[in-house]
């Protein structure tokens, strides 16, 4: 089987690049994106083919993905991630909201949505004959790359800042990557990898510095559309760091419209950041095309602690053309929402996911979103990977006081 990729192009200048070759960034230093022969897909693949696919996860969208050969699809048991309605919005948010859903990406291999992008990048690396991959990471990307590269038999080197959460570093090593802590920031890890390319002959899979992670992330949008009966919610809240998720979903929606698989009523895309690192929000508010570097970035939501994004103009474009906006929330608000969702719904969100809940609540309170609108909040990883409060209640087995169990 061949893929339906027609060519690739610079997302800024539109300069064309050929399919079937290894690409990084474009001549002018911007991301390169994948283009498909959508007319041919439309003629050859009815939507029902997707619906009846036996593939349980994102590989069910293969006609819209860049991998040509079935044997190059690297798999680790991907699933269609559930959308779970909030049943107790009043207790959590302080108002009734009828159709608010969490799309729970924690169910994917390695416990985060990073599996989508890195699964795709590794599969394309396999197809193009790359033998060694390297990545700078703050956490979830490293373990996802490690898992898929190991599965594919590709060598993998991961460089993390030495303050990366220990669990991410250890899971990465346990899944077969050569794992190293660097006394510097993620950008400096990236520089070590770039500078070593000649000597090591490795290929860097930094965010948006290769074309295929976006294609994997795009499947969040395709999956959401299929799951909702080829309709989309009114509003999507997405925790935005490097922006692959929001850019990918927006790209996927355009492709679905061109295929005639959905109508053109698209969701407003809301980019959620932390007040401790909000370069996209600042650029959005100032009406800028690009976002400036955010100094001294700090937030508990480590997945969105990204001070500078190569795809900044693409994030801002999807937000603007969808009629959405960018919004930041404090870590206190995030942690409070994480707690409330756990206490009231039995869902342990990651802080990035909880940030979208806080952003939704604040948006309703300020009138940006109405409670009658349908909303999807993305929980991008499992809460199990993050620090949690201690349990302080100790019981002496020889002297049990039952009154302490009475909570009402």
Ligand X SMILES: *Cc1c(COP(=O)(O)O)cnc(C)c1O
Site of interaction with ligand X (CB under 6 A): 112, 114, 140, 207, 239-245, 303-304, 350, 352, 380-381
Identify any residues that bridge with 156 across adjacent strands, giving them in sequence order. Answer: 133
CB closer to ligand X, 114 vs 361: 114
- Token couple for 405: 């169990």
Tell the smallest beta-carbon distance from residue 114 to ligand X (Å): 5
- 136 phi, psi to nearest 5 deg: -90, 135
Tell the smallest beta-carbon distance from residue 13 to ligand X (Å): 22
CB closer to ligand X, 134 vs 326: 326
Tell the smallest beta-carbon distance from residue 400 to ligand X (Å): 40
Tell the smallest beta-carbon distance from residue 12 to ligand X (Å): 18
CB closer to ligand X, 135 vs 259: 135
Strand order, beta sheet including 132-136: 178-182, 155-161, 132-136, 203-204
Q: Do 152 and 127 contact (CB within 8 A), yes or no?
A: no
Tell the smallest beta-carbon distance from residue 219 to ligand X (Å): 13
Q: Do 361 and 93 contact (CB within 8 A), yes or no?
A: yes
CB closer to ligand X, 225 vs 259: 225
Q: Do 169 and 179 contact (CB within 8 A), yes or no?
A: yes
Tell the smallest beta-carbon distance from residue 251 to ligand X (Å): 12
CB closer to ligand X, 63 vs 109: 109
Tell the smallest beta-carbon distance from residue 277 to ligand X (Å): 11
| Of 104, 59, 100, 60, the residue nearest 81 (C-alpha) | 104
- Number of H helices and number of E strands within the chain? 14, 13
CB closer to ligand X, 30 vs 114: 114
- The label of the residue with tokens 């009402």 reads 408
CB closer to ligand X, 63 vs 307: 307
End-to-end CA gap in the chain:
63
- Token couple for 249: 């979903």
Element at 93 (helix H, strand E): helix 89-93
How many whole angstroms separate alpha carbon 158 and alpha carbon 175? 11
Residue nearest to ligand X (CB): 303
């Amino acid at each position: 089987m061949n893929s339906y990729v027609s060519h690739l192009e610079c997302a800024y200048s539109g300069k064309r690049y050929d399919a079937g070759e290894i690409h990084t960034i474009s001549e002018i230093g911007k991301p390169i994106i994948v283009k498909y022969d959508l007319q041919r897909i439309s003629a050859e693949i009815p939507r029902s083919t997707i619906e009846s696919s036996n593939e349980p996860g994102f590989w069910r969208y293969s006609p819209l993905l860049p991998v040509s050969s079935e044997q190059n699809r690297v798999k680790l048991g991907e699933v269609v991630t559930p959308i779970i309605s909030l049943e107790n919005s009043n207790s959590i948010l302080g108002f009734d909201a009828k159709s608010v859903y969490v799309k729970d990406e924690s169910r994917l291999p390695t416990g985060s949505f990073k599996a989508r992008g890195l699964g795709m990048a590794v599969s394309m690396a396999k197809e193009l004959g790359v033998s060694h991959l390297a990545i700078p990471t703050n956490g979830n990307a490293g373990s996802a790359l490690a898992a898929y590269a190991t599965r594919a038999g590709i060598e993998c080197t991961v460089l993390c800042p030495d303050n990366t959460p220990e669990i991410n570093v250890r899971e990465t090593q346990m899944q077969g990557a050569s794992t190293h802590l660097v006394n510097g920031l993620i950008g400096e890890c990236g520089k070590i990898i770039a500078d070593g390319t000649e000597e090591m002959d490795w290929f860097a899979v930094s965010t948006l510095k290769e074309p295929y992670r976006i294609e994997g992330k795009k499947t969040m949008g395709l999956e959401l559309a299929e799951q909702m009966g080829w309709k989309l919610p009114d509003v999507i809240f997405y925790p935005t760091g490097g922006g692959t998720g929001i850019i990918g979903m927006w790209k996927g929606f355009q492709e679905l419209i061109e295929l005639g698989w959905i109508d053109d009523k698209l969701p407003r895309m809301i980019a959620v950041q932390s007040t401790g690192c909000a370069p996209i929000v600042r650029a959005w508010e100032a009406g800028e095309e690009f976002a400036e570097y955010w100094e001294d970035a700090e937030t508990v939501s480590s997945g969105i602690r990204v001070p500078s994004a190569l795809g900044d103009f693409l994030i801002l474009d999807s937000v603007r053309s969808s009629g959405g906006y960018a919004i930041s929330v404090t870590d206190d608000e995030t942690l409070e929402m994480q707690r409330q969702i756990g206490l009231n719904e039995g869902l342990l969100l990651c802080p990035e996911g909880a940030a979208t809940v806080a952003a939704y609540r604040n948006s309703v309170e300020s009138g940006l979103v109405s409670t009658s609108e349908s909303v999807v909040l993305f929980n991008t990883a499992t809460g199990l990977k993050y620090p949690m409060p201690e349990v302080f209640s100790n019981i002496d087995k020889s002297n049990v006081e039952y009154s302490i169990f009475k909570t009402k």
